Chain A
């Protein structure tokens, strides 16, 4: 029997927010704002962009940090403000929301595909170990699709990634951790 892929609840809820006519144009506008560390992903794809509200002339954008110490958060807030300013919205407020905590489940399907094309294995391309952490092998290689891979380092070039190497094509690659 063919399995029907279901969209995670988190993503369904996010799509609902986007469909609000009052702010639909703003969501589309902010699709141009990319993650400064992983420019293949928009902030929407990453799941950091949580909500947009119009408050008279003011635009209030809510973002949620991926990791506590992610140094890219400030850059993201500045990029959002800049994009809105450029489009003629001068009064912009960026709110940071801590709860609920960001989860890699929030990443869009499109974002996962973009990540893989960019050379980063998305969260679902590895089976977590019994502790619910990044496994020491078998993340899917984004270059040659082999499962014959091993973890080189738990902590990669940014807080959200671990470093793997493929035993078949020998290429190292980043794995976007599932949290």
Chain B
């Protein structure tokens, strides 16, 4: 592996880990607040899947970095400006409709991203994708069911779900942006060219939103910056809560 490719792979793996840990933590905020017990448990399960992915990505990132850091250092010892997650993942949990719409956008994204990552020439990234693909099928079935149920539900649930779609739409454009690092890896057969996933993502999301009697936003606005560390104010607050125990008691074990 050339040095340039290795550095890019480290950056890319960290980004994928950041997406997973941030979304996983956000979902975990629902635990004990779910509308009923089974849903509470479902959120816990989905959250664990994402945190598990993050652990695998960070463990690999630590191996590539080879500078004495471990997976925990990646998760707990970096500040918001050092995080490289997509902004969609860090948006607050909002109401139930808001979280389910965000989940639908993310689940459809991973439905198309993971089979491409599976083809990666990097064996570890491919292996992580192989595990995650199976989990994402279950995630998507759940978020799709909920968006259909809420969108095509009562007047109130419809209103809230539409509001969530409108509020989150501007954060979805960033999902398909490529930069030099990702282009280098896509050309090398290691990373995924996410710009090619947009049409499939849009078609699937349109299909589900339409079935849920929701309207696809036409307003053109987009917020970007997660991949270069420019975050919304939400991430800092989330990391404060996520990192405080580890930072207060370094090396502490259960």
Residues of A bordering B, CB below 8 Å: 65, 67-71, 98-102, 131-134, 152-157, 159, 163, 179
Supply 8 further A-B pairs (C-beta < 8 A) apart from A67-B49, A68-B131, A131-B137. Answer: A68-B48, A68-B53, A69-B52, A99-B126, A101-B134, A132-B137, A133-B141, A157-B41
Contact string against A for B residues 35-52, beta-carbon threshold 8 Å, 1 for contact and 0 otherwise: 000100110111111111
A74 to B250, CA, bound (A): 19
Which one, B38, B123, B127, contacts A101 given CB within 8 A? B127
Complex interface: chain A residues within 8 A of B135 (CB) = 67-68
Across-interface contacts of A102 in B (CB, < 8 A): 131
Contact of A68 among B52, B137, B142 (CB under 8 A): B52
Contact of B42 among A133, A134, A154 (CB under 8 A): A154
Instruction: Identify the closest chain B residue to A153 (Cβ).
Output: B38
CB of B38 within 8 A of CB of A155, answer: yes
Listed by A's residue number, 5 A-B pairs whose Cβ atoms lie within 8 Å are: A68-B132, A69-B48, A99-B126, A131-B141, A155-B42
* Closest-CB distance, A22 to chain B (whole angstroms): 27
Please tell me if the beta carbons of B52 and A65 are within 8 angstroms of each other in the complex.
yes
Instruction: Give the docked Cα–Cα distance between A159 and B124 (Å).
Output: 22
Is residue B33 contacting chain A, with contact meaning CB distance below 8 A? no
Bound-complex Cα distance A101 to B127 (A): 7
Q: How far is the CB of B38 from chain A (nearest CB, A)?
A: 4
B50 touches A69 (CB 8 A): yes
Judge whether A69 and B53 touch: CB under 8 Å: yes
CB closest residue in chain B, given A70: B52
B46 touches A155 (CB 8 A): yes
B142 touches A67 (CB 8 A): no
Chain B residues, Cβ within 8 Å of A134: 138
B128: CB under 8 A from chain A? yes
Q: Are A69 and B49 in contact (CB under 8 A)?
A: yes
* Residue B7 is within 8 A (CB to CB) of chain A in the complex: no
A69 touches B126 (CB 8 A): no
Contact, CB under 8 Å: B141 / A154 = yes
- Which residues of B in the span 106-147 have a Cβ within 8 Å of any Cβ on A? 123-124, 126-128, 130-132, 134-135, 137-138, 141-142
Interfacial chain B residues near A70, Cβ < 8 Å: 48, 52
Which A residues are CB-close (under 8 A) to B128? 68, 98
Partner of A133, one of B44, B51, B56, B137: B137
Contacting residue for B48 out of A132, A152, A157, A159, CB 8 A? A159
- The 9 A-B pairs of least Cβ separation, nearest first, read A69-B52, A68-B52, A69-B48, A99-B127, A153-B38, A98-B127, A155-B42, A155-B45, A101-B130
Measured between C-beta atoms, what is the minimum distance from B102 to chain A in Å?
18
Of B46, B126, B135, B138, the most chain A CB neighbours within 10 A belong to B138
Partner of A153, one of B42, B46, B53, B141: B42
Q: List A contacts of B47 (CB < 8 A).
A: 69
Contact of A152 among B38, B130, B132, B141 (CB under 8 A): B38
Minimum CB–CB distance from B64 to chain A (whole Å) comes to 15
Closest to B128 in A: A98
**CB-CB under 8 A for A71 and B141, given A153-B41, A155-B41:** no
Q: Is there contact, CB below 8 Å, between B41 and A156?
A: yes
Report Cα–Cα, A163/B40, bound state, in Å: 13
Query: Given the known A-B contacts A68-B56, A69-B48, A69-B49, are A98 and B42 also in contact in the complex, defined by CB atoms under 8 Å?
Result: no
Instruction: Assess A133 versus B52: contact at CB under 8 Å? Given A99-B126, A99-B127, A154-B42.
Output: no
- Residue interface bits B171-182, CB-to-A below 8 A is 1, else 0: 000000000000
Which of A71, A99, A134 counts the most B-chain CB atoms under 10 A from its CB?
A99
Residues of A within 8 Å of B134, CB to CB, are 101, 179
Chain A: which residue is nearest B129 at the CB level? A101
